[in-house]
């Protein structure tokens, strides 16, 4: 983080090219500063050993343990037919469990001499299973002797740091490299203003770096961690605060709806009243639209909380004020659906310039990549003349050819599928920056919203509109209780018998096998045995139509179908002509068929928590109760089953998003495209460190308001430059 010559020193010079190459390729570390910020994952205490009983399969692990016994066996093999093959089996223990190490061939001589019973060492390797027992084959190891000069130095602390390592570079080699560069930590420039650091009683940065890599006590680790977490939170929040500050200086056209215009006419048509939540959020949005700076707002709402209605009213307000509004959807299916439902909700108000259109009416056009040339030409013409007040489309809206008469508002649906560059391209279509409303149905915990969408103000819709029904969710353990699966299909038949419809969701399409690139790949026997491929739409639909759901009208829907076919399938399902739709996750977002009451998710363990929650939100959209069945073959004790139980236990998306995050770490919370800045979170855990993030945000806002250019804080400027190197700066620019 610190652009100081000593810390900018390339690792090649300090550690030599071979080690530096591995560090750059496998860990993304290039300079002394990068290496100093490669923090230990955890610490082993000398007297206290790793729990061998809890080792994860197939992962690269580092354990500290004692040799219990070592035996050399000879055996015959194709390479050594006369019984000359050698295998060394070493059993190590930590008091909680035992683990077998195996060495073969010429590799047995050194460990045979060194790994004597009673020897302590660190071992690193990939955990595998042989004869139903865990083992490490040919692990790398480092003896923990207390005699020779070098090891006394290296292992001086009672706490041994264990670093995130790779097969090419064991934890202790990283540790040794860090000991080499640790003296440079003294030159680290502190990004925190002195007043802030002293006011909060935090140690200086050089001291924090020493303590994190060479702690003598657990208190050292705590001091260092809380200090380094503050750095990350604060530098990131300053970057976002500066972004918001700069946005607030941009000009935009204020858009205030007229007293008896389109919006008033639309509200008068509504057959229901808006929920309190919808009214409150609409007010926040209208207040933003009425200012002369671009709105940047994130609207998050539970599945089915009526976000589209709030967005539509905002679009109508802008059209009322003489501007145009564009709504961007991530898929064609979704764009077509939004278009259909918006035109239906608006009625004659969507028939601007047509016979029978109301006098305040405007045109609502659809623009997608697969439209015919004539329809597309007409849509483009309606946009450039201003005839169309509202356009709904996919990425096709961003193309250069698309020109607006006066773009006033951009609504982006399902933000996390939408890169920052695309938002930016659309924003460039306005004469002045348009207002921006971003919608997501993935509930995001407050801290994540502050970290990832920190440049947007947040509105939350958390009540469901009246008339929505509760959804009952159950886990169906197909392997343990096959009769539960049979009962699942009976339940689907019952729902259809009562005049309703059902979805069956599968992880795969099922026509991938003909891809020659994939077919050529040889699978290892472990892969073959370990997991059958995920269930596929085409196979499942075929099996259901011929078997358990025989006699019902079953159709399929997936992403590789021609857009017209997809639309036709969706229309038939929406019209109630199809009983059961077997689909991939194309239906995850925004599909609205109130008569669909049941959903069966096959291989549910292959989906993420928030994805399951999204999918489930497709049922129970009418007055009849919804049912969601999560089918899995995972054993009861597995983490996957716990995850499914959590989904079945609550309908609260915010609660589920916390569970999801705790299990996944933040790195991939919302996809890498979201913000380059987040890749820098090494120490900060977005969920646990809620308070730090909130406090850092307050401090950052105060500081930026007083000194937007950070003229008096060179250390902080340096840290920001490192965080926002060129590419990341652009990400935030576009955010």
Q: In this predicted model, what pLDDT tens digit does every residue of 69-80 receive, in sequence order? A: 999 888 776 666
What is the enclosing helix (H) or strand (E) of 592? none
Which of 438, 435, 450 minimizes the C-alpha distance to 301? 438
Q: Are 237 and 217 in contact (CB under 8 A)?
A: no
Q: What is the mean pLDDT of residues 553-579?
A: 89
SS3 content of the chain, % helix, strand, coil (to 5): 45, 20, 35
pLDDT (0 to 100) of residue 189: 83
Higher pLDDT, 362 or 42: 362
Q: What's the pLDDT tens digit per position in 246-303?
A: 888 888 899 998 888 899 999 998 888 888 889 999 999 999 999 999 998 989 887 6
Look at residue 678 in the predicted model and tell me its pLDDT: 35
Given a contact cutoff of 8 angstroms between Cβ atoms, the answer to whether 52 and 94 are in contact is yes
Query: Which is more confident, 489 or 416?
Result: 489
* Structure token digits, residue 219: 């208190």
pLDDT at position 496 over 90: yes
Query: Does residue 155 surpass a pLDDT of 70?
Result: no
The arithmetic mean of pLDDT across residues 17-42, rounded, is 87
Give the H or E element holding residue 90.
Answer: strand 85-93
pLDDT in tens, 78-107: 666 666 778 899 999 877 778 899 998 888
Selection from 376, 423, 426, 435 nearest residue 398 by Cα: 426
Is it the case that residue 727 has pLDDT exceeding 80? no
What is the mean predicted confidence (pLDDT) over 47-69? 73
Question: What secondary structure does DSSP assign to 608-668, as a single string?
Answer: -HHHHHHHHTTSS-SSSPEEEEEEE---TTSHHHHHHHHHHH---HHHHHHHHHHHH-GGG
Whether 9 shows a pLDDT value over 80: the answer reads yes
CA distance 101 to 80: 21
Least confident of 82-91, 301-310, 410-419, 700-709: 410-419
Which of 436, 311, 326, 346 shows the shortest CA–CA distance to 392?
A: 326
- With cut-offs at 50, 70 and 90, classify the pLDDT of residue 329: confident
The pLDDT of residue 323 is above 90 = yes
Q: Which value, in Å, is the radius of gyration of the alpha carbons in the chain? A: 30
24 secondary structure, DSSP code: I
Q: Choose the weakest-confidence range: 14-18, 151-155, 601-605.
A: 151-155
Determine the average pLDDT of the residues in 516-535. Answer: 49
Q: Is the pLDDT of residue 419 over 80?
A: no
Query: Whose CA is closest to 656, among 643, 639, 670?
Result: 643
- Residue 589 has a pLDDT of 58
Residue 364's H or E segment, with its range, is strand 363-367
Q: Which of 346, 330, 319, 479 has the alpha carbon at shortest distance from 409?
A: 319
pLDDT at 188: 85
What pLDDT is stored for residue 669 in this prediction?
39
Mean pLDDT along residues 391-405? 86
Spatial separation of the C-alpha atoms in residues 580 and 619, rounded to whole Å: 13
pLDDT at residue 411 in the model? 92
What percentage of residues in the chain have a pLDDT greater than 90? Answer: 28
* Range 400-412 average pLDDT: 89
What's 521-583 look like in SS3?
CCCCHHHHHHCCCCCEHHHHHHHHHHCCCCCCCEEEECCCCCHHHHHHHHHHHHCCCCCEEEE
The yes-or-no verdict on residue 352 having pLDDT over 80 is: no
pLDDT at 417 (0 to 100): 54
Instruction: Say which residue the tokens 């006098």 belong to.
Output: 359
Mean pLDDT, to the nearest integer, of 8-26? Answer: 87
pLDDT over threshold 90, residue 489: yes
Question: What is the predicted pLDDT for the residue at 493?
Answer: 94
What is the average per-residue pLDDT within 60-69? 83
Per-residue pLDDT averaged across 494-509, rounded? Answer: 92
Q: How confident is the model at residue 663 (pLDDT cuts 50, 70, 90)?
A: low
Highest mean pLDDT of the ranges 545-554, 612-621, 639-648? 545-554
pLDDT(476) > 90: yes
Q: pLDDT tens digit string along 298-317?
A: 898 876 678 889 999 999 99
Q: Is 75 helix (H, G, I), strand (E, B) or coil?
A: strand
pLDDT at res. 534: 81
pLDDT at 154: 46
* Average of per-residue pLDDT values in the chain: 81
Across 320-346, average pLDDT: 89
Q: Is residue 530 pLDDT above 50, yes or no?
A: no
Burial of 591 (0-12, 13-18, 19+ CB in 10 A): buried
248-262, 485-499, 503-517: the lowest-pLDDT one: 503-517
Cα gap 181→210, rounded to integer Å: 11
Average pLDDT over residues 147-166: 59
d(CA 676, CA 687): 19
Asked whether the beta carbons of 678 and 631 are under 8 A apart, the reply is no
Q: What are phi and psi of 630, to 5 degrees?
A: -100, 105
Q: Which pLDDT does position 158 carry in this prediction?
A: 58
Any idea what DSSP says for residue 227? H
């Amino acid at each position: 983080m610190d652009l100081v010559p000593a810390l900018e020193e390339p690792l090649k010079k300090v550690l030599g090219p071979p080690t530096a190459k591995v560090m750059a390729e496998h860990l993304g570390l290039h300079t002394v500063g990068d290496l100093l910020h490669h923090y230990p994952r955890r610490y082993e205490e000398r007297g206290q050993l790793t729990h061998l009983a809890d080792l994860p399969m197939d992962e690269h692990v580092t354990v500290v343990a004692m040799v219990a016994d070592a035996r050399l066996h000879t055996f015959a093999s194709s390479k050594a037919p006369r019984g000359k093959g050698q295998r060394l089996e070493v059993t190590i223990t930590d008091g909680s469990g035992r683990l077998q190490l195996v060495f073969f061939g010429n590799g047995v001589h050194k460990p045979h001499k060194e790994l004597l019973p009673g020897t302590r060492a660190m071992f690193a390797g990939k955990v595998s299973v042989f004869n139903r027992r865990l083992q490490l084959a040919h692990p790398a190891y480092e003896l923990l002797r207390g005699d020779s000069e070098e090891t006394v130095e290296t292992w001086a602390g009672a706490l041994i740091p264990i670093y995130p390592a790779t097969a090419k570079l064991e934890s202790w080699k990283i540790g040794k490299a860090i000991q080499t560069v640790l003296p440079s930590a003294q030159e680290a420039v502190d990004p925190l203003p002195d007043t802030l650091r002293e006011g909060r009683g935090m140690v200086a940065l050089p001291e924090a770096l020493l303590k994190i890599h060479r702690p003598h006590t657990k208190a050292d680790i705590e001091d260092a961690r809380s200090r380094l977490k503050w750095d990350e939170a604060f530098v990131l929040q300053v970057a976002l605060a500066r972004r918001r500050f700069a946005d607030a200086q941009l000009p935009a056209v204020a858009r205030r709806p007229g007293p008896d215009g389109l919006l008033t006419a639309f509200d008068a048509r509504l057959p229901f009243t808006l929920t309190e939540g919808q009214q409150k959020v609409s007010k926040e949005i209208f207040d933003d639209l009425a200012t002369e700076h671009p709105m940047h707002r994130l609207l998050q709402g539970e599945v089915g909380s009526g976000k589209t209605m709030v967005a539509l009213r905002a679009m109508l307000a802008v059209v009322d004020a003489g501007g145009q509004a564009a709504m961007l959807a991530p898929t064609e299916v979704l764009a077509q659906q939004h278009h259909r439902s918006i035109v239906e909700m608006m009625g004659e108000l969507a028939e601007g310039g047509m016979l029978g259109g109301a006098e305040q009416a405007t045109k609502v056009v659809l623009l997608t990549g697969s439209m015919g040339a004539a329809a597309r030409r007409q849509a483009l013409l309606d946009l450039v003349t201003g005839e169309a007040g509202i356009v709904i489309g996919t990425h096709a809206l961003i193309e250069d050819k698309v020109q607006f008469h006066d773009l006033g508002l951009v609504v982006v649906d399902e933000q996390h599928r939408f890169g920052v560059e695309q938002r930016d391209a659309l924003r460039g279509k306005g004469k002045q920056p348009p207002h921006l409303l971003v919608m997501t149905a993935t509930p995001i915990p407050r801290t994540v919203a502050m970290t990832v969408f920190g440049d947007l103000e947040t509105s939350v819709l958390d009540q469901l509109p009246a008339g929505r029904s509760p959804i009952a969710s159950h886990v169906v353990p197909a392997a343990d209780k096959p009769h539960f699966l049979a009962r699942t299909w009976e339940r689907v038949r019952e729902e259809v018998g009562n005049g309703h419809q059902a979805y069956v969701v599968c992880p795969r399409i099922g026509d991938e096998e003909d891809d020659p690139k994939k077919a050529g790949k040889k699978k290892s026997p472990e892969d073959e045995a370990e997991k059958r491929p995920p269930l596929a739409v085409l196979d499942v639909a075929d099996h259901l139509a011929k078997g358990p759901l025989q006699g019902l009208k079953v159709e399929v829907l997936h992403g590789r179908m021609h857009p017209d076919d997809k639309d036709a399938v969706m229309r038939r399902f929406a019209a109630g002509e199809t009983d059961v739709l077997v689909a991939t996750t194309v239906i995850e977002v925004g599909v609205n068929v109130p008569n669909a009451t049941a959903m069966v998710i096959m291989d549910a363990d292959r989906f993420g928590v928030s994805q399951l929650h999204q999918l489930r939100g497709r049922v129970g959209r009418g007055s009849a109760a919804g049912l969601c069945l999560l089918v899995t073959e995972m054993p009861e004790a597995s983490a996957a089953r716990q995850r499914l139980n959590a989904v079945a236990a609550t309908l609260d998306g915010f609660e589920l998003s916390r569970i999801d995050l705790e299990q996944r770490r933040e790195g991939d919370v919302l996809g890498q495209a979201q913000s380059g800045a987040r890749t820098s979170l090494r120490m900060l855990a977005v969920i646990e460190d809620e308070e730090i993030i909130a406090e850092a945000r307050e401090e950052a806002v105060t500081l930026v308001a007083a000194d937007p250019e950070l003229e008096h804080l060179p250390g902080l400027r340096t840290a920001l430059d490192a965080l926002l190197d060129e590419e990341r700066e652009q990400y935030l620019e576009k955010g």
